Structure 1
Amino acid sequence: MPPKSLMIPVRPWKCLQCRTFSATTSNRRLGPEYPDYIPIPQPPQQTLPDRPFIKGRLPVPRDVFAGAEGRDKASPEWLDPHTRPRNKSTRVKAGSREEWKVKISDMRRQNLREGLVSLKARRETEQHALKTRSDRNQRERQEALTRPEREDERLTTPSHGLDLDHLFHGYIPGSPGVRPDPTRDERIARMRANVAARAEAARAERASHVNTLYMNARHFIVNPQQLNAAVDEAFGTTENPVMFGDPHSSMANRENAASVWANGKPDRVQDMLNRANHVGGKYAVEGAAGYSVINSERIRRIAEVFTGGKLENANEARR
């Protein structure tokens, strides 16, 4: 019988760039509803483990030295009668149950004696440490209460050093104390003048704000009719909408002028500088025409300063 040929399974070829060498699940394999679909960094406080919850309640440890009727359970007077060894005269058979009971009784007596002695020693150690810590705290507190004032605190204390009687009742000639300040009346008058000036400036500012509000109130929209009129003025009506192109041009050209770009490209920074410096014929004419607008605005501001109130703008008055 001819030997069988060894068949080696052929694996499908895979691009090296498409292979993955990580066992971590890619985010592309997760759905959008998965919380880690979009990785968001979290602050360290939210990733700290919570305190483990301990089920149940530990019982209150009882006092093993209570109930001795004033006697110390760790003293020989109490331990000797309770841990008295057995009588040696009683013989037991080796390997019997009685021998096992004897060994258990001896071990119980030894554990009772050693446990009470060790518990008393630990109790005394804890009480001594507690008393030492309490005495130290009391001593530090008493030292802090009776400690003298530090030099830096004394030098930085906001002490006034004034005579309160002179401060509240005035200076009496012939009485000991600090003489009054000779410039006191002048300083008080200057401070009163400053307070009055600030109050007058606040009153004038408030009056100017009220006048400005009164002048601007005529353009406030307070009813639906005024709102409709303002909308029609800004956007036009359905039959006659506002166009950005030439209103005298044909309707075909006006239909293409529904955008602000129908007026041409916006001015460049160089065009603005040329207009401001009156460079070129076109910009020179525009600059000359702009002088009248600037002068009228300056005259209006000067008139507002002289009259002390807000005046209406010329462009707003023509509307």
Structure 2
Amino acid sequence: MPPLLPRPALLLPRRGITAPATLSRRTSLFSTSAARPSTPQRIPPESPLFINVPNPPQDQSIEALRELKPVKGHLPIPRQVFKHRDSHLKPEKAWLSKSAPRPTSAKSQQPPRSEVQAWKRRMAASRRENMRVGIRALYKRKQLRDTRRAAAQAAKLAAHQEAAAAPEREDDRLTRATINAATLQTAVIRDPERFERALASRERTTALLAQKSERRRDAIQELYMKARSFIVDEADLEAEVNKIFAPDYWKSMGLSASGFEVRNIWDLHGKPPTVTDILNEVSRTSSTAVKSFEAEKTRTLKRQKEVAEELTGGKLDEESDKD
């Protein structure tokens, strides 16, 4: 193990003692702190040593704090001797006699046979006495500490209550910002028409539920009316496929409205209108004009369809109209 070097703090000379040149040179070599300047020109203006003022005895300034030796290590955490609920019984004589009982054997009642045995008995008695004195002193200290803590807490609580109940100071009242009186009224005023609004809302909700129920009933009735044309087995599917994909399917439709032979769906219903045609038609005519140019047969069919739907309670498709 290499030899330990002396600490730099031990190499500094005390006040009033002149160190030799060798010690000063060693101090400059091993010291970790900056040496105090010898001339005032090296001291910056922000330093407390910029103005040379003699230090009085028992000074608590920076110079006095520099001479204090650092305290090494740390204090251990004290043990809570009176931690449990029955800890107040520890200062009692019964607890002390039970914790450190006196010897009761026949050998201990006899006089000591040697100086060592007498010394051991004295040490045992001293330990029992130290424990008794220490426990009682610690308990008195705990009682004093609890009393002081309770007094401090009571004083703090009384000060807080007094500050909370104290009237407003005059400077606070004079410097307080002006607040509109209506702003301070934060109470929520109940709507006087709340019952009428609730009844109107109930009526609207009932009407909406009735509309939904009517639409659902119409949808079920329409599904029931269209169920007769559903394909439910493979035979019906094969028959429908053979019918639609037959080579003479369009010829079986007969003639179109213009009298020509039907060869595709465009010949039967005409070409689909473009977006431009639809916009021009909407901008040129209205719904009233369309109804005025509608054929009498078409209007009769529509009226019959509406009557049939009202009687059956469901929607009818185009095949039902033709039937």
The TM-score with structure 2 as length reference comes to 0.34
Task: Report which of the two structures shows the higher radius of gyration computed on alpha carbons.
Answer: 2
**Larger relative contact order (CA 8 Å, sep ≥ 6):** 2
**Scaled by the length of structure 1, what TM-score is found?**
0.34
